[in-house]
Amino acid sequence: MFEPVLLKNVDMPDGHLLSTYEAGGGYQALQKVLREYTPDEVVDLIKRSNLRGRGGAGFPTGMKWSFVPKRADRPKYLCCNADEGEPGTFKDRIIMERDPHQLIEGLAVSAYAIGAETAYVYIRGEYVTAIRRLKQAIAEAHERGFLGTRVLGSDFNFAVHIHCGAGAYICGEETAMLESLEGKRAQPRLKPPFPAVEGLYASPTVINNVETLACVPHIVMRGADWFRGIGPNKSPGPKLYCLSGQVRKPGLYELPMGIPLRELVENHGGGPLPGRKIKAVIPGGVSAPVIAASGLDVGMDFDSLAAVGSMLGSAGVIVIDDQTCMVKVATRIIEFFHHESCGKCTPCREGLNWVVKVLRRVESGQGEPGDLEQLQALCKGIFGNTFCALGDGAAMGLRAALKHFEDEFVAHIEERRCPFH
Ligand SMILES: NC(=O)c1ccc[n+]([C@@H]2O[C@H](COP(=O)([O-])OP(=O)(O)OC[C@H]3O[C@@H](n4cnc5c(N)ncnc54)[C@H](O)[C@@H]3O)[C@@H](O)[C@H]2O)c1
Ligand SMILES: Cc1cc2nc3c(=O)[nH]c(=O)nc-3n(C[C@H](O)[C@H](O)[C@H](O)COP(=O)(O)O)c2cc1C
Ligand code: SF4
Protein backbone atom coordinates (compact mmCIF):
# COMPACT_ATOMS: atom_id res chain seq x y z
CA MET A 1 0.00 0.00 0.00
CA PHE A 2 1.49 3.33 -1.10
CA GLU A 3 1.59 5.91 1.68
CA PRO A 4 0.52 9.35 0.38
CA VAL A 5 3.00 12.14 0.92
CA LEU A 6 1.70 15.10 -1.06
CA LEU A 7 -1.93 14.46 -0.12
CA LYS A 8 -1.35 13.44 3.48
CA ASN A 9 -3.11 16.51 4.93
CA VAL A 10 -5.79 17.13 2.33
CA ASP A 11 -8.62 15.18 3.95
CA MET A 12 -8.10 16.80 7.36
CA PRO A 13 -10.78 19.41 8.14
CA ASP A 14 -8.06 21.93 9.09
CA GLY A 15 -5.41 20.74 6.61
CA HIS A 16 -4.97 24.30 5.37
CA LEU A 17 -3.98 25.72 8.77
CA LEU A 18 -0.40 26.24 9.91
CA SER A 19 -1.08 24.33 13.14
CA THR A 20 -2.02 21.18 11.18
CA TYR A 21 0.94 21.53 8.86
CA GLU A 22 3.41 22.00 11.71
CA ALA A 23 1.90 19.10 13.70
CA GLY A 24 2.74 16.83 10.75
CA GLY A 25 6.38 17.97 10.63
CA GLY A 26 5.80 21.02 8.43
CA TYR A 27 8.49 23.73 8.04
CA GLN A 28 11.19 21.37 9.34
CA ALA A 29 12.66 21.16 5.83
CA LEU A 30 13.03 24.94 5.75
CA GLN A 31 14.69 24.92 9.18
CA LYS A 32 16.97 22.07 8.08
CA VAL A 33 18.23 23.74 4.90
CA LEU A 34 18.79 27.08 6.63
CA ARG A 35 20.79 25.30 9.34
CA GLU A 36 22.64 22.59 7.43
CA TYR A 37 22.71 23.28 3.67
CA THR A 38 24.33 25.83 1.40
CA PRO A 39 22.13 26.85 -1.55
CA ASP A 40 24.31 24.78 -3.92
CA GLU A 41 23.86 21.74 -1.70
CA VAL A 42 20.06 22.05 -2.01
CA VAL A 43 20.37 22.28 -5.81
CA ASP A 44 22.59 19.20 -5.75
CA LEU A 45 20.09 17.30 -3.57
CA ILE A 46 17.25 18.07 -5.99
CA LYS A 47 19.44 17.05 -8.94
CA ARG A 48 20.23 13.72 -7.28
CA SER A 49 16.54 13.08 -6.58
CA ASN A 50 15.80 13.15 -10.36
CA LEU A 51 12.72 15.29 -9.67
CA ARG A 52 11.19 16.30 -13.01
CA GLY A 53 8.75 19.15 -13.57
CA ARG A 54 5.13 18.24 -12.87
CA GLY A 55 3.75 21.07 -15.05
CA GLY A 56 3.86 18.80 -18.08
CA ALA A 57 7.21 18.87 -19.86
CA GLY A 58 9.12 16.85 -17.24
CA PHE A 59 12.29 18.97 -17.39
CA PRO A 60 14.77 18.02 -14.60
CA THR A 61 14.17 20.51 -11.79
CA GLY A 62 17.66 20.51 -10.24
CA MET A 63 19.20 21.05 -13.67
CA LYS A 64 16.88 24.01 -14.32
CA TRP A 65 17.89 25.56 -10.99
CA SER A 66 21.58 25.06 -11.80
CA PHE A 67 21.19 27.21 -14.96
CA VAL A 68 20.51 30.30 -12.81
CA PRO A 69 23.64 32.47 -13.16
CA LYS A 70 25.61 33.00 -9.97
CA ARG A 71 26.17 36.71 -10.72
CA ALA A 72 24.74 39.07 -8.10
CA ASP A 73 24.18 42.03 -10.44
CA ARG A 74 20.45 41.32 -10.87
CA PRO A 75 17.79 40.00 -8.51
CA LYS A 76 16.62 36.42 -9.07
CA TYR A 77 12.97 35.45 -9.03
CA LEU A 78 10.98 32.33 -8.38
CA CYS A 79 7.59 31.94 -10.07
CA CYS A 80 5.11 29.29 -9.18
CA ASN A 81 2.95 28.24 -12.09
CA ALA A 82 -0.48 27.79 -10.52
CA ASP A 83 -2.46 28.61 -13.65
CA GLU A 84 -3.55 24.98 -14.09
CA GLY A 85 -5.36 25.64 -17.35
CA GLU A 86 -5.19 22.17 -18.85
CA PRO A 87 -8.68 20.64 -19.13
CA GLY A 88 -8.89 17.56 -16.92
CA THR A 89 -6.32 18.87 -14.42
CA PHE A 90 -7.11 19.80 -10.81
CA LYS A 91 -4.17 18.57 -8.69
CA ASP A 92 -2.59 21.97 -8.01
CA ARG A 93 -5.91 23.36 -6.84
CA ILE A 94 -6.27 20.63 -4.22
CA ILE A 95 -2.77 21.29 -2.84
CA MET A 96 -3.41 25.02 -2.61
CA GLU A 97 -6.89 24.72 -1.11
CA ARG A 98 -6.21 21.92 1.35
CA ASP A 99 -2.49 22.17 2.19
CA PRO A 100 -1.18 25.60 1.11
CA HIS A 101 1.73 25.57 3.58
CA GLN A 102 3.23 22.62 1.72
CA LEU A 103 3.57 24.90 -1.30
CA ILE A 104 4.83 27.85 0.75
CA GLU A 105 7.54 25.72 2.35
CA GLY A 106 8.46 24.39 -1.12
CA LEU A 107 8.71 27.96 -2.36
CA ALA A 108 10.91 29.02 0.55
CA VAL A 109 13.35 26.10 0.19
CA SER A 110 13.49 26.53 -3.61
CA ALA A 111 14.04 30.30 -3.36
CA TYR A 112 16.87 29.73 -0.88
CA ALA A 113 18.46 27.26 -3.32
CA ILE A 114 18.42 29.62 -6.31
CA GLY A 115 19.20 32.81 -4.39
CA ALA A 116 15.80 34.49 -4.86
CA GLU A 117 14.22 36.78 -2.28
CA THR A 118 10.92 37.21 -4.10
CA ALA A 119 8.43 34.67 -5.40
CA TYR A 120 5.24 35.17 -7.37
CA VAL A 121 2.45 32.63 -7.39
CA TYR A 122 0.59 33.07 -10.68
CA ILE A 123 -2.78 31.53 -9.93
CA ARG A 124 -5.86 31.29 -12.08
CA GLY A 125 -8.53 33.75 -11.00
CA GLU A 126 -11.26 31.09 -10.93
CA TYR A 127 -9.49 29.39 -8.00
CA VAL A 128 -11.23 31.59 -5.45
CA THR A 129 -10.89 29.25 -2.45
CA ALA A 130 -7.26 28.47 -3.26
CA ILE A 131 -6.46 32.19 -3.50
CA ARG A 132 -8.13 32.88 -0.14
CA ARG A 133 -6.37 29.97 1.60
CA LEU A 134 -2.98 30.87 0.11
CA LYS A 135 -3.30 34.48 1.27
CA GLN A 136 -4.29 33.30 4.74
CA ALA A 137 -1.36 30.84 4.81
CA ILE A 138 1.13 33.51 3.70
CA ALA A 139 -0.04 35.76 6.56
CA GLU A 140 0.30 32.89 9.07
CA ALA A 141 3.77 31.94 7.80
CA HIS A 142 4.86 35.57 7.96
CA GLU A 143 3.71 35.89 11.55
CA ARG A 144 5.70 32.80 12.57
CA GLY A 145 8.89 34.00 10.83
CA PHE A 146 8.86 31.46 7.98
CA LEU A 147 8.56 34.39 5.56
CA GLY A 148 9.84 37.96 5.74
CA THR A 149 13.21 39.50 6.59
CA ARG A 150 15.81 37.23 8.22
CA VAL A 151 13.71 34.05 7.99
CA LEU A 152 14.05 32.14 11.30
CA GLY A 153 16.99 34.39 12.27
CA SER A 154 19.03 33.51 9.16
CA ASP A 155 20.40 35.83 6.45
CA PHE A 156 17.66 34.70 4.08
CA ASN A 157 14.92 37.25 3.27
CA PHE A 158 11.88 35.99 1.43
CA ALA A 159 8.51 37.39 0.29
CA VAL A 160 5.69 35.65 -1.59
CA HIS A 161 3.20 37.60 -3.74
CA ILE A 162 0.00 36.27 -5.28
CA HIS A 163 -0.89 37.29 -8.83
CA CYS A 164 -4.34 36.28 -10.08
CA GLY A 165 -4.82 35.47 -13.76
CA ALA A 166 -7.90 36.39 -15.73
CA GLY A 167 -8.79 33.13 -17.43
CA ALA A 168 -6.51 32.71 -20.45
CA TYR A 169 -4.97 29.28 -21.01
CA ILE A 170 -1.87 30.79 -22.65
CA CYS A 171 -0.96 32.48 -19.33
CA GLY A 172 0.21 29.03 -18.15
CA GLU A 173 2.91 28.98 -20.82
CA GLU A 174 5.81 30.17 -18.75
CA THR A 175 7.04 33.04 -20.93
CA ALA A 176 3.50 34.32 -21.59
CA MET A 177 3.10 34.22 -17.81
CA LEU A 178 6.17 36.45 -17.43
CA GLU A 179 4.68 38.94 -19.90
CA SER A 180 1.44 38.91 -17.92
CA LEU A 181 3.29 39.44 -14.63
CA GLU A 182 5.02 42.42 -16.21
CA GLY A 183 1.59 43.87 -17.03
CA LYS A 184 1.68 43.10 -20.75
CA ARG A 185 -0.53 41.02 -23.02
CA ALA A 186 0.28 37.35 -22.44
CA GLN A 187 2.03 36.14 -25.56
CA PRO A 188 4.94 33.69 -25.43
CA ARG A 189 8.53 34.84 -25.77
CA LEU A 190 11.15 33.18 -27.91
CA LYS A 191 13.17 30.51 -26.03
CA PRO A 192 16.19 30.56 -25.66
CA PRO A 193 16.99 32.54 -23.64
CA PHE A 194 15.19 30.34 -21.14
CA PRO A 195 13.68 32.12 -18.13
CA ALA A 196 16.25 30.57 -15.77
CA VAL A 197 18.80 32.83 -17.51
CA GLU A 198 16.60 35.77 -18.56
CA GLY A 199 13.05 35.85 -17.24
CA LEU A 200 11.00 38.34 -15.23
CA TYR A 201 12.19 41.91 -15.90
CA ALA A 202 15.08 40.26 -17.81
CA SER A 203 16.37 38.73 -14.55
CA PRO A 204 17.07 35.04 -13.93
CA THR A 205 13.73 33.41 -13.06
CA VAL A 206 12.93 29.84 -12.13
CA ILE A 207 9.38 28.81 -13.01
CA ASN A 208 8.03 25.64 -11.46
CA ASN A 209 4.65 24.02 -11.17
CA VAL A 210 2.83 23.80 -7.79
CA GLU A 211 3.27 20.01 -7.50
CA THR A 212 6.97 20.24 -8.40
CA LEU A 213 7.55 22.74 -5.59
CA ALA A 214 5.44 20.70 -3.16
CA CYS A 215 7.81 17.74 -3.65
CA VAL A 216 10.84 19.76 -2.51
CA PRO A 217 10.37 19.76 1.32
CA HIS A 218 9.78 15.99 1.25
CA ILE A 219 13.02 15.40 -0.63
CA VAL A 220 14.86 17.53 1.95
CA MET A 221 13.38 15.54 4.85
CA ARG A 222 13.46 12.01 3.37
CA GLY A 223 16.44 12.26 1.02
CA ALA A 224 17.17 11.95 -2.69
CA ASP A 225 17.44 8.14 -2.51
CA TRP A 226 13.93 7.85 -1.04
CA PHE A 227 12.49 9.91 -3.90
CA ARG A 228 14.49 8.12 -6.60
CA GLY A 229 13.33 4.79 -5.17
CA ILE A 230 9.67 5.46 -6.00
CA GLY A 231 8.80 4.44 -9.59
CA PRO A 232 11.21 4.51 -12.54
CA ASN A 233 14.70 5.77 -11.67
CA LYS A 234 14.77 8.35 -14.49
CA SER A 235 11.31 9.65 -13.74
CA PRO A 236 10.65 8.97 -10.06
CA GLY A 237 8.63 10.16 -7.12
CA PRO A 238 5.10 10.27 -5.76
CA LYS A 239 2.73 11.55 -8.43
CA LEU A 240 -0.71 13.14 -8.46
CA TYR A 241 -3.09 11.75 -11.10
CA CYS A 242 -6.34 13.58 -11.87
CA LEU A 243 -8.85 10.95 -12.94
CA SER A 244 -12.01 12.15 -14.72
CA GLY A 245 -14.47 11.21 -17.44
CA GLN A 246 -16.50 8.03 -17.76
CA VAL A 247 -15.06 6.10 -14.85
CA ARG A 248 -16.70 4.88 -11.64
CA LYS A 249 -14.44 6.63 -9.13
CA PRO A 250 -13.10 9.88 -10.54
CA GLY A 251 -10.86 11.89 -8.24
CA LEU A 252 -7.31 12.83 -7.32
CA TYR A 253 -4.99 9.88 -6.67
CA GLU A 254 -1.46 9.97 -5.29
CA LEU A 255 0.44 6.90 -6.48
CA PRO A 256 3.99 6.14 -7.59
CA MET A 257 5.16 7.58 -10.87
CA GLY A 258 5.08 4.89 -13.54
CA ILE A 259 1.99 3.02 -12.31
CA PRO A 260 0.36 1.24 -15.28
CA LEU A 261 -2.47 3.27 -16.77
CA ARG A 262 -4.70 0.19 -16.66
CA GLU A 263 -4.14 -0.21 -12.90
CA LEU A 264 -4.98 3.47 -12.34
CA VAL A 265 -8.19 3.35 -14.36
CA GLU A 266 -9.45 -0.17 -13.56
CA ASN A 267 -8.28 -0.78 -9.98
CA HIS A 268 -8.13 2.66 -8.42
CA GLY A 269 -10.76 4.29 -10.65
CA GLY A 270 -13.08 1.27 -10.51
CA GLY A 271 -13.21 0.80 -14.29
CA PRO A 272 -15.94 1.84 -16.73
CA LEU A 273 -19.51 2.77 -15.81
CA PRO A 274 -21.97 -0.16 -15.60
CA GLY A 275 -22.63 -1.74 -19.01
CA ARG A 276 -19.96 0.29 -20.77
CA LYS A 277 -16.48 -0.44 -22.10
CA ILE A 278 -13.48 1.86 -22.09
CA LYS A 279 -12.70 3.01 -25.62
CA ALA A 280 -9.81 5.39 -25.06
CA VAL A 281 -7.91 7.36 -22.43
CA ILE A 282 -6.25 10.76 -22.68
CA PRO A 283 -3.40 10.37 -20.15
CA GLY A 284 -2.08 13.91 -19.67
CA GLY A 285 -4.69 16.59 -20.21
CA VAL A 286 -6.08 17.44 -23.65
CA SER A 287 -2.61 18.38 -24.98
CA ALA A 288 -1.66 14.68 -24.71
CA PRO A 289 -2.42 12.32 -27.61
CA VAL A 290 -5.23 9.86 -26.90
CA ILE A 291 -4.42 6.19 -26.23
CA ALA A 292 -6.77 3.45 -27.48
CA ALA A 293 -8.08 0.92 -24.92
CA SER A 294 -5.65 -1.70 -26.26
CA GLY A 295 -2.72 0.49 -25.12
CA LEU A 296 -3.54 0.80 -21.42
CA ASP A 297 -0.63 -1.35 -20.24
CA VAL A 298 1.73 1.62 -20.38
CA GLY A 299 3.53 3.14 -17.39
CA MET A 300 2.34 6.58 -16.30
CA ASP A 301 5.70 8.34 -16.49
CA PHE A 302 7.33 10.79 -18.88
CA ASP A 303 9.49 8.29 -20.79
CA SER A 304 7.05 5.35 -21.05
CA LEU A 305 4.26 7.54 -22.41
CA ALA A 306 6.60 9.32 -24.84
CA ALA A 307 7.70 5.89 -26.12
CA VAL A 308 4.10 5.10 -27.17
CA GLY A 309 3.58 8.49 -28.82
CA SER A 310 1.71 10.22 -25.99
CA MET A 311 2.79 12.16 -22.92
CA LEU A 312 2.31 12.38 -19.17
CA GLY A 313 1.72 16.14 -19.42
CA SER A 314 -0.31 17.41 -16.50
CA ALA A 315 -1.47 13.85 -15.60
CA GLY A 316 -5.07 14.79 -16.32
CA VAL A 317 -6.34 11.29 -17.10
CA ILE A 318 -9.63 11.49 -19.04
CA VAL A 319 -11.50 8.22 -19.57
CA ILE A 320 -13.70 7.90 -22.68
CA ASP A 321 -16.14 5.02 -23.08
CA ASP A 322 -17.72 3.21 -26.00
CA GLN A 323 -20.84 5.40 -26.06
CA THR A 324 -18.86 8.53 -26.82
CA CYS A 325 -18.21 9.84 -30.32
CA MET A 326 -14.48 10.44 -30.89
CA VAL A 327 -15.20 12.98 -33.64
CA LYS A 328 -17.14 14.97 -31.06
CA VAL A 329 -14.30 14.64 -28.54
CA ALA A 330 -11.71 15.79 -31.11
CA THR A 331 -13.90 18.70 -32.22
CA ARG A 332 -14.48 19.99 -28.66
CA ILE A 333 -10.74 19.78 -27.90
CA ILE A 334 -9.69 21.62 -31.06
CA GLU A 335 -12.39 24.24 -30.47
CA PHE A 336 -10.80 24.81 -27.06
CA PHE A 337 -7.30 25.27 -28.51
CA HIS A 338 -8.63 27.52 -31.27
CA HIS A 339 -10.42 29.67 -28.70
CA GLU A 340 -7.29 29.87 -26.51
CA SER A 341 -4.78 30.50 -29.32
CA CYS A 342 -3.08 33.81 -28.52
CA GLY A 343 -2.85 34.64 -32.22
CA LYS A 344 0.86 35.43 -32.25
CA CYS A 345 1.81 32.93 -34.94
CA THR A 346 0.02 32.13 -38.19
CA PRO A 347 0.09 28.30 -38.24
CA CYS A 348 -1.71 28.14 -34.89
CA ARG A 349 -4.06 31.11 -35.37
CA GLU A 350 -5.13 30.34 -38.95
CA GLY A 351 -4.47 26.59 -39.00
CA LEU A 352 -6.69 25.85 -35.99
CA ASN A 353 -9.40 28.04 -37.49
CA TRP A 354 -9.48 25.80 -40.56
CA VAL A 355 -9.26 22.61 -38.51
CA VAL A 356 -12.33 23.68 -36.50
CA LYS A 357 -14.29 24.38 -39.69
CA VAL A 358 -13.50 20.97 -41.20
CA LEU A 359 -14.12 19.10 -37.93
CA ARG A 360 -17.48 20.79 -37.35
CA ARG A 361 -18.45 19.85 -40.90
CA VAL A 362 -17.52 16.21 -40.37
CA GLU A 363 -19.18 16.05 -36.94
CA SER A 364 -22.48 17.36 -38.26
CA GLY A 365 -22.61 14.91 -41.17
CA GLN A 366 -21.67 17.51 -43.79
CA GLY A 367 -18.16 16.11 -44.32
CA GLU A 368 -16.78 15.63 -47.80
CA PRO A 369 -14.42 13.07 -49.31
CA GLY A 370 -10.90 14.46 -48.86
CA ASP A 371 -11.67 16.07 -45.47
CA LEU A 372 -9.47 13.63 -43.55
CA GLU A 373 -6.58 14.30 -45.93
CA GLN A 374 -7.16 18.00 -45.43
CA LEU A 375 -7.07 17.57 -41.64
CA GLN A 376 -3.77 15.69 -41.96
CA ALA A 377 -2.35 18.42 -44.18
CA LEU A 378 -3.43 21.09 -41.68
CA CYS A 379 -1.80 19.18 -38.80
CA LYS A 380 1.40 18.98 -40.85
CA GLY A 381 1.32 22.73 -41.37
CA ILE A 382 0.88 23.38 -37.64
CA PHE A 383 3.10 20.76 -35.98
CA GLY A 384 6.67 21.96 -35.44
CA ASN A 385 5.90 25.36 -36.96
CA THR A 386 4.43 27.23 -34.02
CA PHE A 387 5.93 29.58 -31.52
CA CYS A 388 4.86 27.67 -28.42
CA ALA A 389 3.66 24.17 -27.55
CA LEU A 390 -0.06 25.03 -27.76
CA GLY A 391 -0.12 24.51 -31.52
CA ASP A 392 1.92 21.29 -31.30
CA GLY A 393 -0.36 19.89 -28.59
CA ALA A 394 -3.46 20.53 -30.72
CA ALA A 395 -1.95 18.95 -33.85
CA MET A 396 -0.57 15.90 -32.00
CA GLY A 397 -3.92 15.26 -30.32
CA LEU A 398 -5.85 15.41 -33.58
CA ARG A 399 -3.34 13.17 -35.37
CA ALA A 400 -3.72 10.54 -32.64
CA ALA A 401 -7.54 10.67 -32.84
CA LEU A 402 -7.36 10.27 -36.65
CA LYS A 403 -4.90 7.39 -36.31
CA HIS A 404 -6.75 5.36 -33.66
CA PHE A 405 -10.34 6.22 -34.62
CA GLU A 406 -10.22 6.79 -38.37
CA ASP A 407 -13.22 4.45 -38.77
CA GLU A 408 -15.43 6.86 -36.78
CA PHE A 409 -14.38 9.85 -38.91
CA VAL A 410 -15.00 7.83 -42.10
CA ALA A 411 -18.43 6.69 -40.81
CA HIS A 412 -19.47 10.33 -40.23
CA ILE A 413 -18.56 11.22 -43.81
CA GLU A 414 -20.00 8.11 -45.48
CA GLU A 415 -23.23 7.92 -43.46
CA ARG A 416 -23.60 11.73 -43.47
CA ARG A 417 -24.55 11.67 -39.80
CA CYS A 418 -23.11 10.91 -36.37
CA PRO A 419 -23.44 7.14 -35.78
CA PHE A 420 -23.71 7.78 -32.04
CA HIS A 421 -26.96 9.71 -32.29
N1 LIG B 1 -0.38 21.96 -16.08
C2 LIG B 1 -1.16 22.53 -16.98
O3 LIG B 1 -2.26 23.00 -16.66
C4 LIG B 1 -0.69 22.58 -18.41
C5 LIG B 1 -1.41 23.30 -19.38
C6 LIG B 1 -0.97 23.30 -20.70
C7 LIG B 1 0.19 22.63 -21.06
N8 LIG B 1 0.88 21.98 -20.10
C9 LIG B 1 2.11 21.24 -20.41
O10 LIG B 1 3.11 22.11 -20.84
C11 LIG B 1 4.07 21.33 -21.52
C12 LIG B 1 4.91 22.20 -22.39
O13 LIG B 1 5.56 23.16 -21.59
P14 LIG B 1 6.73 24.07 -22.15
O15 LIG B 1 6.35 24.58 -23.48
O16 LIG B 1 7.09 25.06 -21.08
O17 LIG B 1 7.92 22.99 -22.31
P18 LIG B 1 9.49 23.19 -22.47
O19 LIG B 1 10.04 21.86 -22.78
O20 LIG B 1 9.78 24.33 -23.41
O21 LIG B 1 10.03 23.66 -21.04
C22 LIG B 1 9.88 22.94 -19.86
C23 LIG B 1 10.64 23.63 -18.74
O24 LIG B 1 12.03 23.38 -18.86
C25 LIG B 1 12.75 24.60 -19.02
N26 LIG B 1 13.84 24.37 -19.98
C27 LIG B 1 13.79 23.57 -21.09
N28 LIG B 1 14.99 23.59 -21.72
C29 LIG B 1 15.80 24.38 -20.97
C30 LIG B 1 17.16 24.80 -21.09
N31 LIG B 1 17.92 24.39 -22.11
N32 LIG B 1 17.66 25.64 -20.15
C33 LIG B 1 16.87 26.06 -19.12
N34 LIG B 1 15.59 25.69 -18.95
C35 LIG B 1 15.07 24.87 -19.87
C36 LIG B 1 11.74 25.61 -19.51
O37 LIG B 1 12.15 26.92 -19.16
C38 LIG B 1 10.51 25.15 -18.77
O39 LIG B 1 10.51 25.65 -17.46
C40 LIG B 1 3.29 20.26 -22.22
O41 LIG B 1 3.98 19.05 -22.04
C42 LIG B 1 1.94 20.24 -21.51
O43 LIG B 1 1.69 19.00 -20.92
C44 LIG B 1 0.46 21.93 -18.79
C1 LIG C 1 -0.04 26.62 -23.65
C2 LIG C 1 0.67 26.15 -22.41
C3 LIG C 1 0.04 26.25 -21.19
C4 LIG C 1 0.69 25.82 -20.02
N5 LIG C 1 0.01 25.89 -18.84
C6 LIG C 1 0.63 25.46 -17.71
C7 LIG C 1 -0.05 25.51 -16.47
O8 LIG C 1 -1.21 25.92 -16.38
N9 LIG C 1 0.60 25.07 -15.36
C10 LIG C 1 1.90 24.61 -15.42
O11 LIG C 1 2.47 24.25 -14.40
N12 LIG C 1 2.55 24.55 -16.59
C13 LIG C 1 1.95 24.97 -17.73
N14 LIG C 1 2.65 24.93 -18.91
C15 LIG C 1 4.06 24.51 -18.88
C16 LIG C 1 4.97 25.71 -18.48
O17 LIG C 1 5.27 26.44 -19.66
C18 LIG C 1 6.30 25.24 -17.85
O19 LIG C 1 6.86 24.20 -18.60
C20 LIG C 1 6.11 24.76 -16.39
O21 LIG C 1 5.45 25.71 -15.61
C22 LIG C 1 7.49 24.50 -15.79
O23 LIG C 1 7.35 23.99 -14.49
P24 LIG C 1 7.85 22.51 -14.12
O25 LIG C 1 9.25 22.37 -14.66
O26 LIG C 1 7.81 22.47 -12.64
O27 LIG C 1 6.92 21.58 -14.78
C28 LIG C 1 2.02 25.32 -20.09
C29 LIG C 1 2.65 25.23 -21.34
C30 LIG C 1 1.98 25.63 -22.49
C31 LIG C 1 2.69 25.51 -23.80
S1 SF4 D 1 1.32 28.48 -30.97
FE2 SF4 D 1 -0.66 29.54 -30.74
S3 SF4 D 1 -0.72 30.07 -28.57
FE4 SF4 D 1 1.44 29.60 -29.06
S5 SF4 D 1 2.34 31.59 -29.67
FE6 SF4 D 1 1.56 30.68 -31.55
S7 SF4 D 1 -0.52 31.55 -31.75
FE8 SF4 D 1 0.12 31.86 -29.63
Q: pLDDT digit string (tens) for 169-218? A: 999 999 999 999 999 999 999 999 999 999 999 999 999 999 999 999 99
We find that the CATH architecture of domain 18-228 is: 3-Layer(aba) Sandwich (3.40)
Identify whether 193 is preceded by a cis peptide bond (ω within 30 of 0). Answer: yes
Q: Is the pLDDT of residue 383 over 90?
A: yes
Q: Is the pLDDT of residue 9 over 90?
A: yes
Q: Is the pLDDT of residue 326 over 90?
A: yes
- Supply the pTM of this predicted model: 0.98
**Ligand 2 near 209 CB (within 6 A):** yes
Q: What topology is assigned to 238-321 in CATH?
A: Ubiquitin-like (UB roll) (3.10.20)
**Ligand 2 near 172 CB (within 6 A):** yes
The sheet carrying 159-164 orders its strands as 159-164, 118-123, 77-82, 205-209
Answer yes or no: same fold for 18-228 and 326-415: no
CATH class of 326-415: mainly alpha
Determine the pLDDT at residue 71. Answer: 85
**Among the atoms of ligand 3, which is closest to the Cα of residue 346?**
7
- The residues that bridge with 321 in the sheet, in sequence order, are 278
Single out the residue of 217, 184, 221, 38 nearest to residue 114, CA to CA.
38
Close Cβ partners of 38 (under 8 Å, ≥ 6 residues apart): none
- Calculate what percentage of the chain has a pLDDT beyond 90: 98
**Ligand 3 near 195 CB (within 6 A):** no
**Among the atoms of ligand 3, which is closest to the Cα of residue 344?**
7
Which residue ranges make up each domain of the chain?
18-228, 238-321, 326-415
